[in-house]
Structure 1
């Protein structure tokens, strides 16, 4: 019940932001805005997988390392950790890069189009072409630009076995660069909503963890509920 209530609040906030993005950047787009590429919005960063054969490269509490599978499980807007973390040694012996909070993660294969925002410093495997937004552009615009233009990006993918968006392709996806005033207006609108959504997602994740820890004990009889009056 509480989970659904919090999720409904989060969904309503998300609809508000999506509607505002549509109003500012689609319905009322200024023809004078500059046409560029995603490289004008931020730095495109790939990822890497440290050798799985070396257990010293992985840990339960280290550097966050995200895979597309993590985003398939975690449907939240924000992510700080995946199923596995990597060690400093694993980072050093791979081409993975630490990306800052606010980076927009974009899965570039298997499948294309999982999108999330890093709520802390993270690394990813090679299944991503993430975007570190330029300060003048901001995380919010990059996030919704990618979501809005996902069909275009998918159409630019190539590959015989499975479709993939390469680094060079991602960098050259056409992008509109709005004026600073409009971007500032959008980012200022999004900032408190994003902060609220992060809190809501954290609360829901805590509820899920609590449920997952209690339910097996209830099923096994470890927790006695026979004396509870319903």
Structure 2
């Protein structure tokens, strides 16, 4: 399999997130999906549909947030570095993110999600800061990546996605079996 070298900045626009002032209640509870690292911290799936809070049009216009088109990569860039998700809907993120708007003629979104997940320790090592580590936009742009052709990326991503679905199904089956066992135990012994 032939791999071609790129810089991450060659295959994705890195877009910073932003947060409107929390002192103005008009900035929140609107219709614009807004994702924070907290929304990803308990996330078990790679797709995120929405966050706990939305921002308003006023809030969006009062900060430097940019809309991220659907099916791109959201990555927390501090506290902690490396929480990942693919956005199902157009959204924006808070300042704790560096989002990757991918050139889909070069890379597949699912493949890039798995690629970044696999290389996250190396990415985290590029973080700097005294209070908490943060990875900069320029550090992300300069990361060297190696990609197979687009068709091979899609094949690899499909295989990994299929495995993820099977793992999730097995977890659901186990959870159901545990609930049934508890119910039987309570019925018989309590």
Give the TM-score taking structure 2 as reference length. 0.79
Matched, 1:175 2:149: no
Counterpart CA distance in 2 for 1:92 and 1:191 is 39
The residue number in structure 2 matching 1:163 is 133
Residues 1:75 and 1:184: Cα distance change in structure 2 (over 3 Å)? closer
1:49 is matched with which residue? Answer: 19
Aligned residues: CA RMSD: 2.5
Aligned-partner Cα distance in 2 for 1:180–1:139 = 10
Q: Moved runs in structure 1, 4+ residues, more than 2 A?
A: 73-76, 183-187, 189-194
Q: SS in structure 1 opposite 2:82?
A: strand
Q: Deviations over 1:53-73 (max 9, x none)?
A: 1111100x5111011011113
Deviation at 1:180, TM superposition (A): 3.2
Q: 1:148: which partner in 2?
A: 118
Indicate conservation of the 8 Å contact 1:140/1:190, yes or no: no
Residues 15, 98 of structure 2: 8 Å contact kept: yes
Q: Is the 8 A contact 1:41 1:177 kept in 2?
A: no
Q: TM-score, normalised by structure 1?
A: 0.66
* Equivalent pair of 2:72/2:86 in contact (CA under 8 Å): yes
More helix by share: 1
- From the two aligned structures, give the one with the greater strand fraction: 2
SS at match of 1:62: strand
Question: Is the Cα–Cα contact under 8 Å of residues 103 and 118 in structure 1 kept in the other structure?
Answer: yes
Kindly state the Cα deviation for residue 184 of structure 1 after the two structures are TM-superposed.
4.2
Relative to structure 1, is the Cα distance of residues 190 and 140 closer, same or farther in structure 2, using a 3 angstrom cutoff?
farther
2:7 counterpart of 1:37: yes
